[in-house]
Structure 1
């Protein structure tokens, strides 16, 4: 028996690895590859962008695709490729910050409600229900109206708007996790509730919660882009994709589609790819 326990696991065979790869849908591979390219382009924007994103050249206003400007220019003569590359940074980082805020608050409230139960659970449930009663965008706009427009305010406001969703999901998971035998075993050993939750319950929920947050990334990106489009999020001279769509809207009347089409396509592509990868990742991470 000792020999069997100490025996190192055999490395996976080639057929087994091939079977694992075969179970990964082609669409997930394509979406993951596109996302990886977008991330690389955002990181390497200073090296890839042919111009500075804020370089204005009125003599090149609304120039179409060509040798000097691969994706054309906007009404101020700014190179759209350069702006899209730099804009990928804020458009990808801001949703991560948003989900970090929602994740910390939502997981804390969800675990607290499931662990304590009673009036605490009722209070948290009613609080999340009240927040659900307001449309997320309206709730965010109200906060921005009080504290002012800007990307930081938008991230914090949307983080609060996403918190009830994460809290309800976490609570449903934590309720079943708190009933498992190992929790009673740690209690018998004299371990406090906070320590049990922080050291054992939350880590056991991390995989499923992380998968759920990946699914929410596309919605978070779209929400932030919507706020920037409405003028509540990123402010000029930012190259945020949502702001670029808003700035390029006027050029459509003049027959120039690229200033709005380039950032709009980038948003749609990243959101679709994250939804595809997110659903697959949530399914894999949710398996305990």
Structure 2
């Protein structure tokens, strides 16, 4: 009987191991984060060092990934650009999380007209294209990474709010909520101390899924000229700057940052979907 009992347990423990694709994607993300942190040590040149004599040089010992039209080393720019490309989406999602979780929890807890107002507000923002909304904000307040992060944070708020509301509605009907109410605890205290923390697993899994999408959105804005501005090493801006060199037959200035964006976005999507599934997130 004990052998029969142990066999399923062994199978279950083996099933907890992440698939090979998730391991590869996770390892890729760890390496990208380490590269961003250690950029001053790993980069062979300063990211803004211009050497016109080395314009559009191909791969070689001096420049492992080649150079752009200004002679700037692509490896150095990609390493330093990883910082902006990772930090900016995190800040964007932080803004969306604070606003979205607050609105979603308020709608689920209060119900009635509050829920109706919040739901209609998020529906209206959904009907308005997020990128167009972001461009309008940038047109008013000016271009730059800070404006892009704030604008996209507001654009992502309805998405987080709707998801938070859906999981909070089921959570608020659980017995422990009624127990705290019977004890005379106020709604704000229950939400802050118990309800929202218990939603943390699901919300975290959902945010990991959104991270790759946020990174791509910021890269798109930089490519269009609304986000990061020269001499930034932002990956989206690097693709835009390297586009002109493609006509001259030099593919590396646009290809290197483009591959970096695709690699990180795909890795975050793979890890995010797996994490969302493990954390019980329902998209």
TM-score (normalised: structure 2): 0.95
Partner of 2:188: 194
Partner of 1:215: 209
**Structure 1: distance between partners of 2:20 and 2:192:** 38
Q: Give the alignment's Cα RMSD to 1 decimal.
A: 1.7
Partner of 1:132: 126
Q: CA deviation at 1:207?
A: 0.4
**Structure 1: distance between partners of 2:280 and 2:160:** 15
**Structure 2: distance between partners of 1:61 and 1:53:** 14
Any stretches of 5+ residues in structure 1 without a counterpart? 1-14
Matched ranges for 1:35-54 at <5 A = 35-54=29-48
Matched ranges for 1:156-171 at <5 A = 156-171=150-165
**Structure 2: distance between partners of 1:126 and 1:21:** 42
Which of 86, 104, 107 is equivalent to 2:80? 86
Partner of 1:236: 230
Give the ranges of 4+ consecutive aligned residues of structure 1 lying more than 4 Å apart after TM superposition. 15-18
Count of matched residue positions in the alignment of Structure 1 and Structure 2? 276
- Say if 2:253 is the partner of 1:251: no
**Structure 2: distance between partners of 1:208 and 1:186:** 22
Contact 2:205 2:281 in 1 (8 A): no
Contact 2:100 2:161 in 1 (8 A): yes
**Structure 2: distance between partners of 1:215 and 1:22:** 20
TM-score (normalised: structure 1): 0.93
**Structure 1: distance between partners of 2:14 and 2:275:** 14
**Structure 2: distance between partners of 1:18 and 1:129:** 42
